[in-house]
Amino acid sequence: MIIMKKIALITSGGDAPGMNACIRAITKYCLNKKIKVIAFLDGYQGVIDNRYKALLLEDVDNIIHRGGTILGTSRSPEFKTKEGRVKAIEHLRKHEVDAFICIGGDGTFAGARVLSEEMNIPVIGIPGTIDNDIYGTDYTIGYGTALNTVVEAVDKIRDTASSHHRIFFVEVMGRDAGFIALNGAIASGADTALIPEEHTDVEELAKHLKQSAKGRRGTIVIVAEGDDAGGAKEIMQKVAPYLKGYSLRHSVLGHIQRGGAPSAFDRMLATQMGVFAVQLLEEGKRDLMVCFKNGRITSLDIQEAMKKKHIPKLSKLELLNQLQS
C-alpha cells in the first residue's frame, strides 16, 4: 500500500452530469484517508495559472445532485505547448502532489499521459463525457443522463409532430460517435437514427420515410451532429425534394443535453469510479483509466483507451429498423 499525502484533481473538456458526484467521492474518500485534495480550476489551464482550491468536506457537501462541475472546465491550447506544460509541472511540483486524477475524455487523457511522461507522476483518468465514446468502458459519466434528456425531449416533440402530421428531424450531440442518437432512437421509439458510423443515403432515407409515414400522424428521425450527410436542418433540406407534400421540421437539442441533475445511474457510476481511482493509486498503480465493464468497475491502460475507438453496436440499427417496419 502506497502512502499518499496529496492528490491533484481536475475536470477537463466538455462538462458532463455526474462530474460533481465524482469530485465528491474522491474528496470524501481522500479526506477519510488523511489525503489532501488540491483541485485546480478550469482544467489544465488552471494548473498552468496555478488557480486551485484545497477541497474540504464542506466544499463537496450537497453537490451530488448538481450538473456541470464545481471546478469548472476548459480546453487549454496553452497546455499543448511545451512552455505551458513547464508552467503546469512547476506548479504541481510546488504543491508536492503525489498523484494526478483527471475527469474527462480523450483530450483530457492525452494531457495526463504527457504529464506522466514529462513529470514522472502517477496519473489516473476517469471517463466523463456524454458522448460515451471512450474505449474500454461500457458507460462514461454523463452519458446516461444525456440519453434521458434526449428521450424526454423527443417525447415532447412527438406530441407536436403527431398534432401536425409532421416529419421531425431532431439533432443530438455526437460529433464522432452515434451512441446518443442510436440508443435515443430506440428508447424514444423514433423511426430511424443517422449516425457518423454509417453512411447516409439521402434518397434511400426519403423512401424509408415515405413508407414509415403511411398511416401515421408523426415521424421522428434522430440525427447525430456528426452524420456524414450533415445536421438535422441540412438533411431535412436534402430530403425535401423527395418528400413534396410532407410537412418537415427540424429541431437542434444542443447543450441542454449536457446540463441538468445527473441520473441515479450516473451518480452511482461516478461515485464508484472516483473511489476506485484513489484506490488504484494507493495500490501503486499508475497511468490507468477507470472503466465500467461487464457490470463491474475495473481499469485499463490509459494509452490503450486513447488508441482505440468505442463504437455503437451497429446491430442495434437492425433492431431499430425491425421495430419500425
Active-site residue list: 131
Buried b (16+ CB within 10 A) or exposed e, 60-69: beebbebbbb
CA atoms within 13 A on the CB side of 244: 2
User: Is the dihedral angle over the CA atoms 292, 295, 296, 301 positive or is it negative?
Assistant: negative
Does residue 89 contact residue 97 with C-beta atoms inside 8 Å?
Answer: no
Would you call 305 exposed, middle or buried from its count of C-beta atoms within 10 A (0-12, 13-18, 19+)?
buried
Element (H, E) at 206: helix 202-213
Residues 166, 209: Cα–Cα separation, whole Å: 11
Q: In what order do the strands lie in the sheet with 6-11?
A: 52-54, 36-40, 6-11, 99-104, 123-127, 288-293, 296-301
- The interaxial angle of helices 106-119 and 82-94, nearest 10 deg, is 70
Whole-angstrom CA distances from 107 to 9, 94, 103 are: 16, 25, 11
